[in-house]
């Protein structure tokens, strides 16, 4: 929701002088575009509550008014990769284990890969990617799971990106980093041991460290490390917030 307001001291630019009053007004947002939903992930209660805003205070306020016995019965909380949620949940529910669904981990990896691709396109071409650029034409393949690609698709992807030079090869490095991170969620519900989790984490961290000249991989590795406990909790429990 938004309301139209005229800011103090606002003067219409010359090109707007002939426009009507309604056309010259500015907009101010009066309702936040984001809402936080609290959902029962294991029972049949569905949506438990919804509050406006995406800040720590709204999470803390909602949890604070819930009965103490209800809060004490919570064992796990599944959230997005959001530090403000984590800090407030730790404060309000210190006994609960926080879980980050694998969906959010893969989403994060794909987002960093897209950042890398766009940055290198600008570096190589001095413009945004467009149809006809191999890295742009293959952007869907880059975000696809490796096991879902046919042998032909993978061959074409690697061939076309290699042909455009170092920037293309760096994009492939980012793609391999994403796939090494995806090796972690593959352990879900397979009752992995901590050594198995550690082995795959080490492979991912080592790959990012070996290619630390790509800032997107450094940021991705740092984020995964900061959320490693919560990611491991998902691998061991399989608890997801997909229902929300």
Please give the Cα distance from 172 to 181 (Å, whole number): 14
Q: Where are the alpha helices (DSSP H) in 48-165?
A: 56-64, 68-72, 83-92, 102-125, 134-137, 139-143, 151-163
Q: Could you tell me if 104 and 111 are in contact, meaning their C-beta atoms sit under 8 angstroms apart?
A: no
Query: In this structure, what token pair is assigned to residue 99?
Result: 């879980």
Q: Look at the alpha carbons of 39, 186, 224, 108 in this order and tell me if their dihedral is positive or negative.
A: negative
H/E stretch holding 5 reads strand 2-5
Does residue 57 or residue 169 have the better pLDDT?
169
Query: Tell me, what's the pLDDT at 5?
Result: 41
> Hey, where are the domains in the chain?
35-99, 102-237
* Lowest-confidence region among 12-21, 40-49, 113-122: 12-21
Query: Tell me, what's the pLDDT at 190?
Result: 78
DSSP β-bridge partners for residue 29:
2
Tens digits of per-residue pLDDT, 54-89? 667 788 888 888 899 988 988 999 888 988 889 888
The DSSP secondary structure of 163-231, one letter per residue, reads: HT-HHHHHHHHHHHHHHHHHTTGGGTTS---HHHHHHHHHHHHHHHHHTTTSHHHHHHHHHHHHTHHHH
Please give the Cα distance from 105 to 19 (Å, whole number): 49
Query: Under DSSP, is residue 97 helix (H, G, I), strand (E, B) or coil?
Result: strand
Distances (CA, A) of 209 to 94, 164, 202: 33, 24, 10
- What pTM did the predictor assign? 0.80
């Amino acid at each position: 929701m938004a309301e139209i307001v005229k800011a103090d001291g606002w003067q219409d630019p010359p090109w707007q002088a002939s426009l009507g009053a309604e056309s010259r007004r500015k907009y101010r947002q009066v309702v936040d575009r984001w809402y936080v939903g609290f959902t029962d992930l294991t029972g049949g209660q569905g949506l438990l509550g919804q509050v406006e805003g995406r800040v720590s205070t709204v999470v803390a306020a909602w949890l604070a008014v819930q009965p103490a016995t209800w809060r004490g019965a919570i064992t796990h909380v599944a959230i997005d990769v959001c530090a403000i949620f984590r800090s407030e949940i730790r404060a309000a529910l210190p006994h609960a284990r926080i879980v980050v669904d694998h969906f959010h981990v893969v989403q994060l990896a794909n987002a960093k890969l897209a950042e890398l691709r766009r940055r290198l396109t600008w570096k190589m071409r001095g413009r945004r990617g467009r149809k006809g650029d191999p890295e742009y034409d293959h952007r869907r393949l880059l975000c696809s799971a490796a096991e879902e690609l046919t042998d032909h698709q993978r061959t074409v992807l690697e061939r076309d990106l290699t042909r455009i030079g170092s920037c293309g090869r760096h994009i492939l490095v980012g793609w391999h980093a994403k796939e090494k991170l995806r090796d972690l969620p593959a352990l879900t519900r397979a009752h992995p041991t901590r050594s198995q989790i550690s082995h795959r984490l080490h492979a991912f961290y080592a790959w990012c460290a070996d290619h630390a000249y790509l800032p997107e991989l450094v940021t991705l590795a740092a984020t995964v490390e900061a959320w490693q406990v919560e990611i491991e909790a998902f691998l061991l429990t399989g608890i997801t917030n997909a229902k929300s």
